[in-house]
Amino acid sequence: MYESLFNRQKQFYQSGKTKKLSFRIEALKQLKRSIQYYESDLLDAMKKDFNKGKAEAYLTEIGYVYNEINYSIKHIEEWAETRKVKTPVTHIGSTSKIYKEPYGVTLIIAPWNYPFNLTVAPLIGAVSAGNTAILKPSEHTPTVAGVISSIVALAFPEKYVASVEGGIDTNQDLLNLPFNYIFYTGSSQVGRIVMESAARHLTPVTLELGGKSPAIVTKNADIKLAAKRIVWGKFINAGQTCVAPDFVYVDSSVRKQLIHHMKHYTEKFYAEAFITGAYMNIVNENHFERLKELIQGNVVYGGKTRPATLTIEPTIIDNVDFSHDAMQEEVFGPILPVLQFDSLEKAILDVRDLPDPLALYVFTDKKSEAKTVIQSVPFGGGAVNDTVFHLVNPHLPFGGRGNSGMGKYHGKYSFDTFTHEKSILHQTTCVDFPFRYPNKLFGKFIKYL
């Protein structure tokens, strides 16, 4: 069904236009202008799709995308430069270079939780690197998907960048095509389907998936600050953030203190928004029903639900253990289970037993403790004494490992993700040393390799 679009993009890519640096820079500028033109529609769409407030939408979606565009425009020439590398003495007379080459026609499949950011941020990488792209925004935020299509249509011809709206069937149709690169963000479950489809064409993939990201709080942490930063990172976007702290694992000696401060800051940051109806919705009824079932046990804050608006109050559950329903899969909503440990060594072993999470946060003022946790547990990335904020540093690669994905992006890493590094040896024709050719010196030459 999308074969004709794919072929038009392929043809356009092969024309060589997208490879010109001036063309790429103009494309990024055009993208920015188009977003600016549709900015208020975008903000309205986020409000409509899941009651996302303007300030939060700007902070977590639009502002971030502008920064990435500006950063790419500033650095693209340096990133795209052919790089000269060393050449060993065995290749005397020659030079070695790495040429930066776009992959070609790329596919970007996005989820609903940051529906604009997670569709357009990878696009910035694809365009910066000189590719064409087909975007597939999430069907669960249809109004935002519509505005993304308008932004793309205003900025680019379809043969260069196109946005395709639709659900699972659309994805399946797209995944049948021989893309040169697929960038997928979403659940680990669908990540497997994407990778299987990509394997049919040996298409390289980046998979940005999810997982149960722990916030480990030791007895050496600044407990008040830990509480404040954990509840902010957890309850922003109604907990529907891939790097939200999924659960808290706290030293038993400071648990009560942490709970006390988490309740205080949750009340301070989110109570009014929940009461007035300004707090964000859960994206759809299925997720709302799934999350409601997880509110069980010792609820020490929140717990209220409003089916009419699909809203769930920021909720903290104390005394949870690993058998609790909220610990069986990624929560992905405003429900925060709190577990306690007696020794950090045991906590590390427990966390290591879970599938590799996308993020991990460790709260401690003892550097050796932070280092031990970072070095003992496999996870995508994270922070010491903070949550979520690592995500917006363009100098840090963002991505998971194992169950939470593969590959990375943001800043230069986005450019690199959508770029093939083509290695070329430039050989001299002035001399032609005989060593490598079959002759009586060959045996001696081999010894030096």
Residues designated catalytic: 208, 242
Residue in 401, 323, 359, 399 with CA at minimum distance from that of residue 216 = 359
Residue of minimal CB distance from ligand NAD? 210
CA angle 111, 40, 243 (to 5 degrees): 30
Query: Residue 159 in contact with residue 9, Cβ under 8 Å?
Result: yes
Residue from 242, 336, 347, 373 that binds ligand NAD (CB under 6 A)?
242
Question: Nearer Cβ to ligand NAD, position 114 or 301?
Answer: 114
Residue from 152, 262, 358, 388 that binds ligand NAD (CB under 6 A)?
358
Q: Report d(CA 90, CA 94) in Å as an integer.
A: 10
Positions in 93-112 near ligand NAD (CB under 6 A): 109-112
Q: Report d(CA 108, CA 271) in Å as an integer.
A: 37
Cα-based distances in Å from 152 to 144, 325, 354: 12, 41, 40
305 touches ligand NAD (CB under 6 A): no
Query: Residue 212 in contact with residue 245, Cβ under 8 Å?
Result: no
Provide, rounded to whole angstroms, the least separation between the CB of residue 184 and ligand NAD. Answer: 7
Residue from 63, 157, 167, 178 that binds ligand NAD (CB under 6 A)?
167
332 touches ligand NAD (CB under 6 A): yes
Cα-based distances in Å from 131 to 201, 367, 409: 18, 43, 15
Provide, rounded to whole angstroms, the least separation between the CB of residue 439 and ligand NAD. Answer: 56
Q: Specify which residues 176 forms β-bridges with.
A: none
64 touches ligand NAD (CB under 6 A): no
Tokens of 330: 């990624």
168 touches ligand NAD (CB under 6 A): yes
Positions in 400-439 near ligand NAD (CB under 6 A): 400, 405
Provide, rounded to whole angstroms, the least separation between the CB of residue 446 and ligand NAD. Answer: 47
For residue 149, the tally of other CB atoms under 10 A from its CB is 16
- The piece of 43-51, 186-194, 301-309, 348-356 that touches ligand NAD (CB under 6 A) is 186-194
Q: Specify which residues 162 forms β-bridges with.
A: 134
Q: Report d(CA 177, CA 107) in Å as an integer.
A: 10
Interface mask (CB under 6 A) for ligand NAD, residues 370-389, using x and -?
--------------------
208 touches ligand NAD (CB under 6 A): yes
185 touches ligand NAD (CB under 6 A): yes
Tokens of 7: 């072929």
Interface mask (CB under 6 A) for ligand NAD, residues 111-130, using x and -?
xxx----x------------
Question: Nearer Cβ to ligand NAD, position 1 or 271?
Answer: 1
Query: Residue 183 in contact with residue 111, Cβ under 8 Å?
Result: no
b/e per residue 319-339 (b: at least 16 CB within 10 A): ebeeebebbebbbbbbbbbbb
The single-letter code of the amino acid at 200 is R
Lookup result for tokens 């669908």: 190
Query: Residue 19 in contact with residue 126, Cβ under 8 Å?
Result: no
392 touches ligand NAD (CB under 6 A): no
Q: Using CA of residue 171, residue 172, residue 176, residue 181, what is the dihedral sign?
A: positive
Cα-based distances in Å from 416 to 42, 69, 129: 29, 15, 8
Tell me which residues touch ligand NAD (CB under 6 A).
109-113, 118, 136, 138-139, 167-168, 171-172, 185-187, 190, 193, 208-210, 242, 330, 332, 358, 400, 405
